[in-house]
Structure formats: C-alpha cells, structure tokens
Amino acid sequence: MKYDFDEVIDRSRNRAAKYDERVKKFGRQDVIPLWVADMDFRTAQPIIDALKEKAGQGIFGYTSRPDSYFESIQGWQRRRNGWEIRPELMSWSLGVVPALSSLVKLFSEPGDSILIQTPVYSEFYDVTEAWGRNVLENQLVEKDGAWSIDFEDFEEKAKQARMFLLCSPHNPLGIVWTREELDRMARICMENDVLLVSDEIHSDLVFHGKKHIPTATLSDEIAGKVITCISGTKTFNLAGLQASATIFPNEEMKKKFDTFWMAMDIHRNNAFSSVAMEAAFNEGEEWLEQLLPYLEANFDFIREYCEANIPQIKPAVPDATYLVWLDCRALGMDNEKLRRFMIEEAGLGLNEGYTFGRSLSGYMRLNAACPRCVLEKALNQLKEAVSRL
C-alpha cells in the first residue's frame, strides 16, 4: 500500500511525551517539538492491524513469547544485514537503554571506567554514572563539519576501560561506521580485554547508499567478544510499546542477564509489544522502504534551506538515524543563551548539544522525522529569529 508521510496527525490525545512534556522541558506549550527521538508518522498498517486484532480479543493477561517472536527478529536481521543470529543467544528486554544499564551493572564493577564516544546520546552518561562507574570519553573530532574517531586517544583510553559502549549507527551525528573503523575499534577492545557493547537501535534507518554492518558480523573472533542491542522501536515508531533484543556471544553471559531481570519479575513482553514486533519484522518492510526516501528528502530540505536562508546554522546531514546535528556556533551564543534563543525567539523545542558532549558549546539536535510542512514551519521560524539578531 501507499503511505502518506505528509499527513499531519494530531497527537494532542496521543499521550505523547514529545508533545505533553513541552512545558516541563521547555517552559511553554507552543514550541514545535523536534526533540525526543520518536516519529510523527503513523506506523505500518500490518502492525496496526495486528494490534487491533489483539485489542479485539479483550483479554490482556500474562503474555507468552512464542518461538516465532525471536524467529521474526532472526529473519529480519538475515534479510537486512546478512546476520545469522542463534535464537538461543537472544534475550528480550524492555528497551535498549534498560539493557545497556543492566549490562553496565552486570559486567563491570563500581569504580570501573566505561568508554564512550562523545558527542553521544546522553543515556550513555546516565547508565554509566547511575551504577557508580566512571565515564571515559573518546571525543570524536570535527573538521569542516565531518566527525571522525581519534584512534590514538581511543587506544589510550581503552587501556583504562572495562567496557566500551559503541553507538552504531551513531546518534546524534548520524555516522555509519565503516568495516575498517568497526574492526579497528573491536580489535583494540580485544587487545585490552574490554567488553564491547554495540547499541544498534538505529541500524535500519540508513541512507545515501551506506550499509550498516553489525559489529558481531566482523569475524567469529570479534563476535565472541560483543554484546549487541537491537530493537524495532526506532524503525517502526513503537517506543511506547517497550521491547528490544540483546544478543550475547555465549550462554553464560545470557544467563547472567536473564537472571537479573527474572529477579525483578521483568521477563515478559506486554500483550501488545509481542504482536507488534512480530508484525513489524515479518510485514513491515514495505512501510520502511517508503519511509527512508521521505526522510532522506527531509534532510535535503533542511540542508538546502539553511544554505539559502540561515547560513549561520550548518546542519550535518546524517547517513543514519532521523536526527540532524546543528552547528550553531556562528550565532556566537553560549549554551544557555542558545537554548533560550531556540525556545523563546524561534519557538522550537530541540535537544541541547551539550547533553551529548559535556564539553561542547553551540550545538543543537533536531528530529527530522515529521511531515515536511512541519519542518518548513520550524525553519521559517528559525530564519525569522536569526534575522532579528
């Protein structure tokens, strides 16, 4: 079927955090919300149909997880990424961030250092510090708007780390790491006995002819040292249903993870996430193949608009995710002034760049997963605000 991503959907009764929490986050209700990473698009029709059928049954008791659930994930990864996952090494969890948090707790000790590459989404800081571990930053290097790994620093930091949290593809920079980059990072981790945890939640949202490479597919040797976190929640806009999969290199590590969640009696999908995820992975590709070019055109629109109308703001067009990293340094504002400017003058609710890298100044993150007309309105407001400076 043909999907309409230009449709503007009223989310005022959707209980959407992206909209309902505007006053809490920005101090006002009237900002255009382009912050938290969910999309303003209706999900794939097979998912909606599966959820309607489930709701129509009228019974929402404890939910089983049939073999077909993990088989749907296995089939998706085989088709999309050429990755053959053994279902017996796959665990369910509430989401990628809860999985990351539990992995930090289970496979490191208080006082250990956890290596991250900044700027990176703020939960990488949160799940490390929440358990009394130290954040060790390998700061990505920017040159003429392009970001790259400082491998000399990475190698030095790896000598001090217990675990490396890799964001692949990268949020917020939208980088699709090359095979060479992934292999080099993985081998440095192995040489220093650093556990590599690969967050691949955005791996289905890849553009411009790039190809996502699951870290665990680099080699059998590397696969034996990598834990991977994946989900369909970003791909199909299902974050509110809370489900992800964690793939382990061996049964011993999987058992440790499963025991942790069983101890809190958190080991079942809710009644709706089970059927939604299975429908997504089995029947959602048609929707995704229509979504990707729409998002790519949104990125082109943002780039062209800023070049023509707001040259002071330079968007880093992503090769993955639907998040656009804005370089606003030419506005000459510190972080707090930039935040107030975006809210009070431009009427936009964006993510502050310094939450992704605490030493950064002058950046914002914009969520481009919305109808084109919403982006146009937002950028017009930004243009007018900049022109008044």
Per-residue confidence band for 178, with pLDDT thresholds at 50, 70 and 90: very high
Q: What is the mean pLDDT of residues 55-60?
A: 97
pLDDT at 120: 98
Identify whether residues 290 and 269 lie together within a single domain. no
Q: With b meaning 16 or more CB within 10 Å and e meaning fewer, what string describes 17-26?
A: bbbeebeebb
Contact status, residue 174 vs residue 318, Cβ threshold 8 Å: yes
Using one digit for the tens of pLDDT, what is the confidence trace for 181-196?
A: 999 999 999 999 999 9
Identify whether residues 156 and 267 lie together within a single domain. yes
The CATH code of the domain that includes 248 is 3.40.640.10
Using one digit for the tens of pLDDT, what is the confidence trace for 8-45?
A: 999 999 999 999 999 999 999 999 999 999 999 999 99
pLDDT at 326: 98
Contact status, residue 333 vs residue 380, Cβ threshold 8 Å: no
Count up the domains in the chain and report the number: 2
pLDDT at 160: 98
pTM of the model: 0.97
3-state SS, residue 341: helix
Identify whether residues 172 and 298 lie together within a single domain. no
Distance from C-alpha of 109 to C-alpha of 194, rounded to nearest angstrom: 13
Contact status, residue 317 vs residue 341, Cβ threshold 8 Å: no
Work out the end-to-end distance of the chain between its first and last CA atoms, rounded to an integer number of angstroms.
47
pLDDT at 283: 98
Identify whether residues 375 and 255 lie together within a single domain. no
Backbone dihedral angles phi then psi of residue 312, each to the nearest 5 degrees: -70, -20
pLDDT at 20: 97
Per-residue confidence band for 3, with pLDDT thresholds at 50, 70 and 90: very high
Identify whether residues 126 and 199 lie together within a single domain. yes
pLDDT at 324: 98
pLDDT at 239: 97
Q: With b meaning 16 or more CB within 10 Å and e meaning fewer, what string describes 144-155?
A: eeebebeeeebe
Is residue 51 situated within a structural domain? no
Last residue within a domain, chosen from 264, 283, 302: 283
Fill in the DSSP letter of residue 109. -
Identify whether residues 117 and 252 lie together within a single domain. yes
Domain that holds residue 141: 59-283
Backbone dihedral angles phi then psi of residue 234, each to the nearest 5 degrees: -75, -45
Is residue 376 situated within a structural domain? yes
Pairing of strands 141-143, 314-316: unpaired
Give 182-189 contacts, CB < 8 A, sequence gap 24+: 182/213, 182/215, 182/218, 183/218, 183/219, 183/222, 184/151, 185/149, 185/154, 186/215, 186/218, 186/222, 186/225, 186/226, 187/222, 188/151, 188/154, 188/155, 188/158, 189/158, 189/164, 189/225
Using one digit for the tens of pLDDT, what is the confidence trace for 221-242?
A: 999 999 999 999 999 999 999 9
- What amino acid is encoded at 261 in this protein? W
Identify whether residues 308 and 262 lie together within a single domain. no
Which residues lie below 8 Å from residue 44, measured CB to CB, with a gap of 6+?
Answer: 3, 236, 279, 280, 283, 284, 286, 287, 288
Last residue within a domain, chosen from 261, 283, 305: 283
pLDDT at 208: 96
pLDDT at 161: 98
Write out the H or E segment, with its range, that includes residue 349: strand 348-349
pLDDT at 45: 98
Backbone dihedral angles phi then psi of residue 170, each to the nearest 5 degrees: -90, 130
The CATH code of the domain that includes 344 is 3.90.1150.10
Is residue 49 situated within a structural domain? no
Using one digit for the tens of pLDDT, what is the confidence trace for 87-125?
A: 999 999 999 999 999 999 999 999 999 999 999 999 999
Cα angle value 348/354/336 (rounded, 5°): 60
Is residue 363 situated within a structural domain? yes
Distance from C-alpha of 144 to C-alpha of 79, rounded to nearest angstrom: 36
Is residue 181 situated within a structural domain? yes
Using one digit for the tens of pLDDT, what is the confidence trace for 311-363?
A: 999 999 999 999 999 999 999 999 999 999 999 999 999 999 999 999 999 99
Using one digit for the tens of pLDDT, what is the confidence trace for 240-298?
A: 999 999 999 999 999 999 999 999 999 999 999 999 999 999 999 999 999 999 999 99
The alpha carbon of residue 88 and the mean position of all alpha carbons in its chain are separated, in whole angstroms, by: 25
Cα angle value 35/37/43 (rounded, 5°): 125
Is residue 5 situated within a structural domain? no
Q: What is the mean pLDDT of residues 144-172?
A: 97
Backbone dihedral angles phi then psi of residue 377, each to the nearest 5 degrees: -65, -45
Identify whether residues 162 and 241 lie together within a single domain. yes
Identify whether residues 68 and 186 lie together within a single domain. yes
